[in-house]
Amino acid sequence: MIRETLPRQRARETRTKILDAARKLFGDRGFGQATIEDIAEAAGVSNGALYHHFASKEELFKVILTDHISDQHLEISALVPAVSLRDVLERLASYWLEHLRKDHEDDRLFAEVWAQAARDPWARQAMTGFIRDGAALLENALRIGQEAGLIRPDVDRPAVATLMHATMQGSFLLWTVNPAALDSRELTRVWVESMERLLATDGEPDLSRFQEGLRSFFDDPGSQPSPDQPKANL
């Protein structure tokens, strides 16, 4: 086991402080109003120290998005194993509902991300990657479900993955603006039932293969075929 040196530990801690400060300020003030000087002051570091870790405010924004995707990947991987398609859908819906209920800076931050993406090409590019990666995660899960006989073979994976991801992001935006107007439990019930009717197969699924496929994917997503390059036996 290689021990972390003190300079590396301090650098990692400084980087984390900067990201935490940027995440909060972007959410509270908006990307345009939060300056590098504000972020450095909130993190308790100099401007030079901030620029040592991040070349620009835009890079900070992109790293926050990337970290968010990684966190989602880890959290969704904890949903494995499941015992049926409905169980998978209910766990996924519960996971998303829990995210909606959390009171943290990410609510305001990602509303700001969407707004920024509508104005600036660099933010649009970063958000496009976030949307693409989220849909790809769902699409790979659908592929694994098809291979295990849990999901109908004729399901259009890219379209359904996009629909699922759009529903999740849309509910997040509604919740951010007016949580009282969103009946999250009823939305969850309708979403699960609708997805089950759309995806369920009449055959007997191989649940052990499905569970093993999901474990393998989350353990090493890079070893799996990309959504646009499915396995030959599909």
Residues 117 and 42 in one domain: no
Give the integer Cα–Cα distance in Å for 39 and 43.
Answer: 6
What whole-number distance in Å separates Cα of residue 106 and Cα of residue 113? 10
Note whether residue 231 is domain-resident: no
Residues 222, 73 contacting (CB under 8 angstroms): no
- pLDDT per residue as tens digits for the range 76-126: 766 666 678 888 888 888 877 777 666 555 667 777 778 888 888 888 887
Identify the CATH number of the domain in which residue 159 sits: 1.10.357.10
Tell me how far CA of residue 40 lies from CA of 49, 113, 136, 204, in angstroms.
8, 20, 35, 57
pLDDT for position 229: 39
Give the model's confidence band at 29: pLDDT under 50 very low, under 70 low, under 90 confident, else very high: confident
Q: Evaluate whether 227 touches 136 at the Cβ level (below 8 Å).
A: yes
Largest Cα–Cα distance in the chain? Answer: 62
Number of domains in the chain: 2
User: Is 181:196 a contact under the CB 8 Å cutoff?
Assistant: no
Question: Does the pLDDT of residue 192 top 80, yes or no?
Answer: yes
2 and 108 within one domain:
no
| Whole-number Å distance between alpha carbons of 18 and 203 | 52
Whether pTM exceeds 0.75: no
Question: Same domain for 39 and 65?
Answer: no
Q: What is the CATH number of the domain that holds 28?
A: 1.10.10.60
Same-domain status, 166 and 211: yes
Average pLDDT over residues 160-179: 82
Residue 37 shares a structural domain with residue 78: no
On the 0-12 / 13-18 / 19+ scale of CB atoms within 10 A, 25 is buried
